[in-house]
């Protein structure tokens, strides 16, 4: 287990913070680009666990998602899918599993849609029922009402569908976005629609891709027939949710922070958090794609957060410092998020000596003088980032499992450090995990590390071969790449449970988000990077046969194609990146050892 120890700001600061692209808009853009066909360029996409899950599902369906610099290109044709079985794993991404489930009901093949851990405990019955009203053939694989599900339909019929609006806006967004593949579609919403701003975001994104939707007071929607998605380029605006932690830090510490890549008129739900901070006495201004908050402190408030529930954890942490009583309402949906968030908030605030009370839809915080604590994160990215805010003011805060932030904001800890907050990641018996492309030298360096440090060496490819009783080329030839990746994931889970091991991964192991999560849970990840021509030259010089990954003509062309798909993920996943251009094996080993010492791992 890792933990992050946070050292507060010594004094208020004036700083500029770069914010990544919006997760919500990135995943919408990915789905709409897939539905549009052709090639769509997505600029400023967020690269995180949640968007990786969406990309992995689209790739499983045969779409191409590759990076050209910082632009993500999506291309392919959903109508040309093979009629076979597809396993679509959304990992821990709620948006992905809802969006992909709706898409799965409109494309060929048998699709098994599933998640991991807590995601398989989050309800999807209302979306399944709505899709069934349109003719979808969907069966639950396990417990009724929850993932995984098996989808056998390949098209939906036009018509009118009824859907409850009280559980999740993602159900409605999923139906709306696949509507052009259905034909004419009307949706009637029963009950009060929660999280309306997320519906606005969906409608805005659909409009950008050329599809119009009528919205009658969030009670009835109509998508006319004979509309098609069209688009060549889409720009993702900055993520207000990610920015909100720095808005909160400014308020709590009296700092002045300016967030770049922001849209002050954004439809993102969490833009409403700025009004709450103004009500607490802080000053907010904006210009030229930037939002600045001048921190003046925090005071108790009473606020309904139904339209921006993801900020309830952050507000609860601020409320712990505000003398008096803060009441947050409209948070019933928090109970079916990554964790039961209301319970998690209460448990962790109690560790800090803060009393709370809650009902199904509210939480009351009696703020004043919080004490430092070691906070559990419950596999929930927002718990980690919200309670990290406390550490910028209060000495002694520690956050367990800090890597959970990779779900939506992988460089969160670096961003904290950039404004002067101390962040020290502490490791307990960590594995050292080497990732990278074929020809990157992972196995060679791992063997030398094992000898140098006296630790167990695990080669994941060799473990797969031992388990299967044949080489990887034979496994792929006999059973296919899907079978190999499944066996690889099984081996990853076993290896990740080790302590103090040196682990060399296969080049494609990071292709599945669940593999990344397992390896990072108890490991520090080192990416051995090299240019495509160097990798190709090394591969061509090897005597062993490796299975082809693409239909490219030459080794160099194949390496370039695969690197375009993987490199951004390697960089995002890694704790340490080493460019070994021009290095010999001993030099490479020396650089790895030096960087591991810097991280206090050895």
Q: Compute the distance between CA of residue 554 and CA of residue 552 in angstroms, rounded to an integer.
A: 6
CATH classification code of 2-20+238-427: 3.65.10.10
pTM of the model: 0.88
β-sheet with 302-304: strand ranges across: 302-304, 324-329, 362-367, 355-359
**Binding residue positions for 3-phosphoshikimate:** 23-24, 28, 168-170, 195, 310, 337
Residue ranges for the binding site?
23-24, 28, 94, 122, 168-170, 195, 310, 337, 341, 382, 407, 439-444, 461, 485, 507, 546, 566
Q: How far apart are CA 208 and CA 152, in angstroms?
A: 31
* Superfamily of the domain at 26-235: Enolpyruvate transferase domain (3.65.10.10)
Query: Treating both helix axes as pointing N-terminal to C-terminal, what angle do 49-60 and 555-573 enclose, rounded to 10 degrees?
Result: 150
CA distance 215 to 212: 10
- pLDDT > 80? residue 550: no
Instruction: Average the pLDDT over 419-434 and give the result.
Output: 95
Question: What is residue 209's DSSP assignment?
Answer: T
119-128, 311-320, 338-347, 354-363: the lowest-pLDDT one: 338-347
CA 569, CA 102: separation in Å to the nearest integer? Answer: 26
The 10s digit of each residue's pLDDT in 111-170 is 999 998 889 999 999 999 999 999 999 999 999 999 999 999 999 999 999 998 888 899
Q: How confident is the model at residue 545 (pLDDT cuts 50, 70, 90)?
A: low
Per 3-state DSSP, what percentage of the chain is helix, strand, and coil (rounded to 5)? 45, 25, 35
- Sorted by sequence, the CB contacts under 8 Å of residue 317 that are 6+ apart come out as 248, 349, 386, 387, 389, 390
Secondary structure (3-state) at 6 = strand
- For the stretch 206-234, pLDDT in tens is 999 999 999 999 999 999 999 999 999 99
Distance of alpha carbon 495 from alpha carbon 252, whole angstroms: 42
DSSP 408-445: T-TTHHHHHHHTT-EEEEEESS-EEEEE--TTS-HHHH
Mean predicted confidence (pLDDT) in 234-245: 97
Angle (CA) 389-524-466 rounded to 5° is 145
Domain ranges of the chain: 2-20+238-427, 26-235, 431-598
CB 256 within 8 A of CB 14: yes
State how far Cα 425 lies from the chain centre: 21
Check residue 541 and give its pLDDT: 84
Q: How far apart are the first and last CA of the chain?
A: 16
DSSP 21: B
Cα distance between residue 181 and residue 159, in whole Å: 12
Mean residue pLDDT across the chain: 94
Each residue's pLDDT tens digit, 273-307 = 999 999 999 999 999 999 999 999 999 999 999 88
Q: List pLDDT tens digits, range 190-201.
A: 988 888 999 999
Where would I find the H helices in 215-340? Answer: 240-253, 273-279, 312-321
Question: How far is the C-alpha of 435 from the C-alpha of 104, rounded, in Å?
Answer: 32
Q: Strand 138-140's sheet: what is its strand order?
A: 85-89, 110-114, 149-151, 138-140
DSSP-assigned beta bridge partners for residue 7: 422
470-520 confidence digits (pLDDT tens): 999 999 999 998 899 999 999 999 999 999 999 999 999 999 988 998 999
Q: Are 303 and 328 within 8 A, CB to CB?
A: yes
Q: Give the dihedral sign, CA 515/517/520/525.
A: positive
Residue-wise pLDDT for 401-412, tens only, equals: 999 999 999 999
Q: Is the predicted pLDDT of residue 336 greater than 80, yes or no?
A: no
What is the model's pLDDT at position 166?
A: 84
Annotated binding site for phosphoenolpyruvate: 23, 94, 122, 170, 341, 382, 407
> What is the rounded CA–CA span in Å between residue 564 and residue 557?
11
Edge-to-edge strand order for the sheet containing 214-216?
A: 159-164, 185-190, 220-223, 214-216
Q: What is the pLDDT of residue 552?
A: 66
Q: Report the catalytic residues.
A: 310
pLDDT of residue 428: 86
Sign of CA dihedral 101, 103, 106, 109: negative
Q: Write out the binding residues for Mg(2+).
A: 443
Q: What is the CATH number of domain 431-598?
A: 3.40.50.300
- Cα angle vertex 385, ends 383, 390, to 5°? 95
What is the Cα–Cα distance from 234 to 348, expressed in whole angstroms? 40
pLDDT over 70 for what percent of the chain?
98
Residue 94 pLDDT more than 80? yes
User: Can you say whether the dihedral through the CA atoms of 546, 549, 553, 558 is positive or negative?
Assistant: negative
Residue 546's pLDDT band (cuts 50, 70, 90):
low
Quickly state the pLDDT bin for 257 (edges 50, 70, 90).
very high
Q: If you count them, how many residues does the chain have?
A: 602
**Rounded Cα–Cα distance for residues 395 and 371 (Å):** 9
Mean pLDDT value of segment 422-449: 95
Cβ atoms within 10 Å of 230's Cβ, excluding its own: 13
* Separation between Cα atoms, residue 144 and residue 224, nearest integer Å: 33
Distance between CA atoms of residues 489 and 460, nearest Å: 10
Both tokens assigned to 120: 């398989």
pLDDT in tens, 22-45: 999 999 999 999 999 999 999 999
- Residue reference for tokens 């954004």: 266
What is the rounded average pLDDT of the residues 266-272?
93
Provide the greatest CA pair distance for the chain: 71
11 contact partners, CB below 8 Å, separation of at least 6: none
Name the binding residues for substrate: 461, 485, 507, 566
Tell me if domain 2-20+238-427 and domain 26-235 are identical in fold.
yes
């Amino acid at each position: 287990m890792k933990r992050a120890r946070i050292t507060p700001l010594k004094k208020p600061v004036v700083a500029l913070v770069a914010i990544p692209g919006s997760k919500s808009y990135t995943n919408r853009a990915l789905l709409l680009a897939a539905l549009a066909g052709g090639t769509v360029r997505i600029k400023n996409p967020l690269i995180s666990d949640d968007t990786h899950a969406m990309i992995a599902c689209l790739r499983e369906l045969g779409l191409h998602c590759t990076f050209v610099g910082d632009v993500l290109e999506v291309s392919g044709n959903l109508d040309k899918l093979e009629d076979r079985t597809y396993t679509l794993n959304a990992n821990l991404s709620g948006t992905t599993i809802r969006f992909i489930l709706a898409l799965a009901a409109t494309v060929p093949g048998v699709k098994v849609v599933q998640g991991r851990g807590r995601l398989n405990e989050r309800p999807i019955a209302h979306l399944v029922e709505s899709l069934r009203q349109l003719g979808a053939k969907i069966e639950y694989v396990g417990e009724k009402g929850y993932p995984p599900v098996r989808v056998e339909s390949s098209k939906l019929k036009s018509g009118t569908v009824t859907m409850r609006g009280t559980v999740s806006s993602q159900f409605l967004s999923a139906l709306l976005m696949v509507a052009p593949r259905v034909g004419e579609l009307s949706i009637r919403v029963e009950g009060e629609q929660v999280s309306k701003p997320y519906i606005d975001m969906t409608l805005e994104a659909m409009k950008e891709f050329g599809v119009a939707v009528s919205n009658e007071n969030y009670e009835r929607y109509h998508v006319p027939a004979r509309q098609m998605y069209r688009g060549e380029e889409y720009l993702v605006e900055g993520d207000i949710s990610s920015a909100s932690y720095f808005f909160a830090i400014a308020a709590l510490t009296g700092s002045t922070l300016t967030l770049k890549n922001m849209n002050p008129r954004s439809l993102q739900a969490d833009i409403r958090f700025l009004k709450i901070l103004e009500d607490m006495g802080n000053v907010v201004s904006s210009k030229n794609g930037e939002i600045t908050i001048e921190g003046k402190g925090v005071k108790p408030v009473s606020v309904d957060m139904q339209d921006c529930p993801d900020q309830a954890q952050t507000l609860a942490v601020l409320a712990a410092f505000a003398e008096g009583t803060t009441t947050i309402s409209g948070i019933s949906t928090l109970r079916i998020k990554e964790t039961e968030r209301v319970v998690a908030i209460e448990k962790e605030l109690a560790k800090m000596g803060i009393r709370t009370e809650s009902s199904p839809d509210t939480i009351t915080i009696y703020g004043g003088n919080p004490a430092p604590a070691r906070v559990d994160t419950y596999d929930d990215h927002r718990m980690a980032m919200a309670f990290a805010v406390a550490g910028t003011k209060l000495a002694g805060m520690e956050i367990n499992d800090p890597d959970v932030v990779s779900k939506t904001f992988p460089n969160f800890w670096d961003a904290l450090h950039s404004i002067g907050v101390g962040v020290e990641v502490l490791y307990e018996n960590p594995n050292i995990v080497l990732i990278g492309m074929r020809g990157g030298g992972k196995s060679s360096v791992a063997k030398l590390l094992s000898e140098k440090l006296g630790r167990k060496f695990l080669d994941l490819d060799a473990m797969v071969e031992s388990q299967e009783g044949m080489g990887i080329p034979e496994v792929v030839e006999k059973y296919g790449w899907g079978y190999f990746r499944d066996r690889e994931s099984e081996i990853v889970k076993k290896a990740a449970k080790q302590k103090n091991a040196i682990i060399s991964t296969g080049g494609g192991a990071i292709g599945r988000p669940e593999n990344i999560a397992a390896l990072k849970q108890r490991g520090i990840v080192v990416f051995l990077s090299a240019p495509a021509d160097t990798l190709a030259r090394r591969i061509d010089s090897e005597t062993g046969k490796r299975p082809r990954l693409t239909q490219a003509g030459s080794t160099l062309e194949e390496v370039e194609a695969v690197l375009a798909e993987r490199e951004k993920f390697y960089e995002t996943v890694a704790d340490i990146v080493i460019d070994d251009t021009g290095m010999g094996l001993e030099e490479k080993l020396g650089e790895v050892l030096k960087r591991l010492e810097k991280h206090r791992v050895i």
